[in-house]
Amino acid sequence: MRNQNSLQSPHAEPSARDAIIEEATLIVGRFGEGALNLDEIATAAGVDLGDAREVFGDTLGLRQILGQYHVDELEKFNRQSLEKLAPDASKAEFMKAVFKSYFDHAMANSRDFECLISQAASTPGEAAEAENLYFGNCAATERMFDCTNDALQDLGYEGDAKFVEAQTIVFWTGTHGVTQLGLKGLLRFQPSAARNRIWDASFESLYCGMLANLERYNNGDFDYDYSTVRPVVDHIRRHRTQLEPPRADDIRGRVIEGAKDFVAIFGVESLTTEEAARIANVPLGSALRAFANSEELREKLIERLNDIAIEHMDLAVEALGKGGEVTPEERMRAYGIGYFVLGQDDINAFVSLSRSSTSSIVPASFENNGEGGVQRMSPTYAKFLDAMRSCVVAQGFEQDVWKLYLSGAVVWSAMHGFADLCAKGMICNFPEEWKLLMVQVMEDTIINSVWAGIMADQCGK
């Protein structure tokens, strides 16, 4: 007797095919495409192996069908977003609709989104024209590039493909950051209205930054000089200490490292001392003696992750060699570079940091509507927000509390998205030189966004 989820033909009943797609989506989103195995997925989904092979062929076939399925799902949101545009919509409005569909898809289908990004990270696409760079073979990604290029041309830009490439990546990674933090991390406790408002502000501010960069480029003031980025990156890597592995006799340190690896995949909510001890290969009895309970382990993990991030940020400022003479703008740029290096060199720490936050990026009372929210702010974000506040004061903006938090959320999430996709995702295999260029463009875009009037809602609107 066949399993109730048996696939009887290539035109199998949707419930069975969907069962395999759903299980594969979960596995790839958590562990990456390398963990995909058709037989294991079919077994976990309760589907007959022979029938699964008849439909998908083998693991490669499943991978291809899964990838196309998620691209098609994203395309649905893309079409819905574009259908809302007026016939006379500007190139900028078209561009915003394309990018917003990416965010809407993720908010509606978080598992699908995670799988899409994970597959894109390991699927070579067509080479980009500028520097033979490879992106996931995704029509939605290509549309992001096309619409950004169209918007630039509509503004009268005529320049090299390298600038368009870097600026588009900055745009995408910036909005990706809001998307990621809307699913987990610092934005996940916010009601949907607040998340949408933060996304809108992110787009508008990044667009302002792009316009400012465009003006600089057209005036001949923009060049591809890494002299302000590379020394900071090198200094952090030479002098950091927080990423040193724990000694063999440091039971607490080893368990925390195991917890870091666990949280990078599953998130902090399901973390237990038992799981962390298993991953760290520490005797369970020793682990249980080291931590009173799983809650203490979670707290120590979050403390450890913030220590790692803050050391990177402090070393980035130290690398400037100016002592107490660092300007607010220089400090904010340095913090961004420090966060980027963390994402590059310890993906587990970086992802764990985003997944383990129990704090809110904006006041919990704002547009709360009873949906909850946590007032505590992480030390890493508080440190960054202080630098942001200094920039605001230096520019003479009024310290409206909501606008301060909003601008902080925009800039922080843009930095986060950039570091995230440099560490994993479609740009993880880019050459180092290109990543440094994008750090430069990202920092310029962020600073220009602030100067363009993000605090006063003056982004050309």
* DSSP of 386-406: HHHHHHHHHTT----HHHHHH
Q: Which amino acid makes up residue 388?
A: M
Written as tens digits, the pLDDT of the chain (461 aa) is: 334 443 334 444 557 788 899 999 888 877 777 778 999 999 998 998 888 888 899 998 898 888 888 888 888 888 888 898 998 998 889 988 888 888 888 888 878 877 777 776 554 443 333 333 334 445 666 777 788 888 887 877 766 677 777 777 777 777 777 777 666 655 666 677 777 877 887 788 778 777 777 777 777 776 666 677 889 999 999 999 999 889 999 999 999 999 998 888 777 778 999 999 999 999 999 999 999 999 999 999 989 999 999 999 999 999 999 877 888 888 888 998 998 899 888 888 887 887 776 555 544 444 443 344 444 567 888 888 788 778 777 766 665 666 666 667 777 777 777 777 777 666 666 777 778 877 877 777 777 666 555 544 544 44
Q: What are the boundaries of each domain within the chain?
A: 228-459
**Cα(188)–Cα(414) distance, integer angstroms:** 16
**Total-model pTM:** 0.77
Rg (CA), the chain: 23
Q: Which residue stretches of 291-327 are H helix? A: 294-318
Q: Which run of H or E residues covers position 168?
A: helix 161-183
Tens of pLDDT along 373-395? Answer: 444 567 888 888 788 778 777 76
111 in helix, strand or coil? helix
Taking residue 143's Cβ as centre, other Cβ atoms within 10 Å add up to 19
For 392, residues 6+ apart whose C-beta sits below 8 A from its C-beta are: 399, 404, 407, 450, 455
Q: Is 88 exposed, middle or buried (0-12, 13-18, 19+ CB in 10 A)?
A: exposed
CATH code for the structural domain at 228-459: 1.10.357.10
Instruction: Fill in the DSSP letter of residue 280.
Output: H
H helices of 319-460, in order, are: 328-345, 347-355, 379-394, 401-423, 432-452
Q: Is 360 helix (H, G, I), strand (E, B) or coil?
A: coil
Among 171, 48, 66, smallest CA distance to 111 is for: 66
Q: Per DSSP, what are the bridge partners of residue 134?
A: 127
Q: How many residues does the chain have?
A: 461
Pick from 83, 95, 186: nearest CA to 144: 95
Cα-based torsion angle of the residue sequence 193, 196, 197, 201 in order, rounded to the nearest 10 degrees: 170
Phi, then psi, of 123 in degrees rounded to 5: -115, 105
Tokens found for residue 302 = 């979050």
The residue assigned the tokens 């066949």 is: 2
